[in-house]
Amino acid sequence: MRNFKEEKDLNTLNHSCAHLLAQAVKHLYPNAKFWVGPVVEEGFYYDIDLGDAVITEDDIAKIESEMRKCAKDDKRIVRQEITKEEALEKFKDDEYKIDLISRMDESDTIISCYTQGDFTDLCRGPHVETTKMLKNFKLTKISGAYWKGDANNKMLQRIYGVCFPTKEELDAYLEELEEAKSRDHRKLGKDLGIYMMCDLVGKGLPMYLPNGFIVWNALENYIRNKEIKRGYKHVLTPPLGNVELYKTSGHWDHYQDAMFPKMEVEGEEFVLRPMNCPHHMMIYGHDIHSYKDLPIRIAEIARDCRFESSGSLKGIERVRSFCQNDSHIFCTMEQIESEFKGVVDLILECYRELGIKDYKFELALRDPEDKVKYHQDDEMWNTAENALRKILDDIGIPYVEKIGDAAFYGPKLDVQVKPAVGNEFSLSTCQIDFCLPKKFDLTYVDKDGSKKTPVVLHRAIFGSIDRTIAYYLEETKGNLPLWMSPVQVNIIPVNNEFHLDYCKDLFNKLVDNNYRVNLDDREEKLSYKMRESQVKKIPITVIIGDNEKSGKLVSYRQFGSKDTTTASIDEFMSFLEKENTVGSR
């Protein structure tokens, strides 16, 4: 996908097209007022106050038609510089422009406007020369947006669009958009019955349906078994905690904006937990430990809650309630390197088996100039950051440094994946922490009998299982591998009267071998049931007719294939066993 913000010429073109949109809207809705119309990574948008009028999808075609007329007029786009006082007078009837002008720095004594025909807008520019250069555009979607992003303000109408220098580039981009829509996990999640959202339950609070719970369990069992083999001990902790717990950890001072409001019950104050480290610190501190016990690897598939603004929510990729595949490794200074290498090795092993190929490593460091965001201890930060750099260099993985992206208590390694749809995001992380063990007064008894403070590695292979499911749906277009699919095998009898008994025997055999099977014995045409099996993206569809019944055979098709394979039942079972392993596709 093209990045409209970063490509200079494309940026100018799309910002100019935002003005073309505003001009057309003003023609159709004379009372319209405009907030801002910036270029974003996927094109441009303009936030508009239309009073009582509401733009629908049906209105988009009318706006596009008016935009084409404005572009065809080929009006020159002329820059004009005016004083702040002149600007306040010129836009005195527009509270949105007045707000923008009033908040400009006093140094901005000269303000620029751009005029195209009968439309003038406040803008820094630059713009293209004439409206004719804006003819290759498309309005892509509409949504609501609070003025200034504040839910206490008025809801404006936001119209998105894209513009390209040529029709060929526009058409190619629109094809990419259609492909992206077909991969969008929100659409696939609905079509395949993976999850649902309900405003009555709450925005950003997904509920997993039976099919989605199967996918969830497959991923959860996969990573838990990996961790058990590597010596992790799993625990279960409550999804809320006393406010004092988070004051002790420092999250209350540094992370409170991302938490839900506290609750008061019987004189105690509680908060829904946004992370699990304070709970795991308390579990470690429950016992006395010797250096011989370390490393101790505590793991949990844990439900957490963080407050995300409604505008940032996106399906199950960005939610307010999510489940982390979380762990905290308590170790000595001497064990940091081997334990960190072990985490990176586990990440790479999982990515290899799951087919995750497009990713990069980022070393997130603190901004030493930021005296608010980070725990203030220069010696601790220097020690942690230098240790992490050395480990990464020794491992030999390429990485880029990101100043200001560290957690408040320590630096971290983030693994950024590039999904099939949308922008890259962090899927895995490993953080080195000298801070929290001291805050909780955690110790172990060293060889000489003295008490030492352990180091903690915070790590998550799946930053959240929710986000991993979203990634997998989009990456595979919903064509999930056999081991993860809600229904693995769909059995269809050609004729219920003659073939159903044999199908039931096959069904029972598969169920006894722990496969998830559907027997489609509805009185529908074979072609209809075959087509529906493809729509549901079931990996294996079995067709049973006379030849299969008489020969004790199985005929099957894999999803997306028109080829039919006929095999003995034993051969079919061997085929399923091979396909049902992680990384088989």
**Active-site residue list:** 277, 306, 324, 326, 328, 412, 458
> CA end-to-end span of the chain, whole Å?
26
Angle at 276 between CA 331 and CA 259, to 5 degrees: 140
Looking at the DSSP assignment, which residues form a beta bridge with residue 144? 157
Q: Which residues contact 287 (CB under 8 A, 6 or more apart)?
A: none
Q: Within 374-520, where are the H helices?
A: 378-395, 436-439, 465-476, 496-512
Question: What's the CA gap between 551 and 569, in Å, rounded?
Answer: 10
> 28 burial class (0-12, 13-18, 19+ CB within 10 angstroms)?
middle
Q: Which residues contact 167 (CB under 8 A, 6 or more apart)?
A: 136
Cis omega (within 30 of 0) for bond into 437 = no
Give the tokens for residue 547.
């030849």
Instruction: Quote the distance between the C-alpha of residue 39 and its chain's center.
Output: 22
Q: Within 410-523, where are the H helices?
A: 436-439, 465-476, 496-512
Phi/psi for 420 (5° steps) reads -65, -25
Per DSSP, the residues of 62-125 read HHHHHHHHHHHTT-BEEEEEEEHHHHHHHTTT-HHHHHHHHTS-TT--EEEEEEETTEEEE---
DSSP conformation class of 262: P
Give the tokens for residue 148.
């200034």
Q: Which residues contact 141 (CB under 8 A, 6 or more apart)?
A: 159, 160
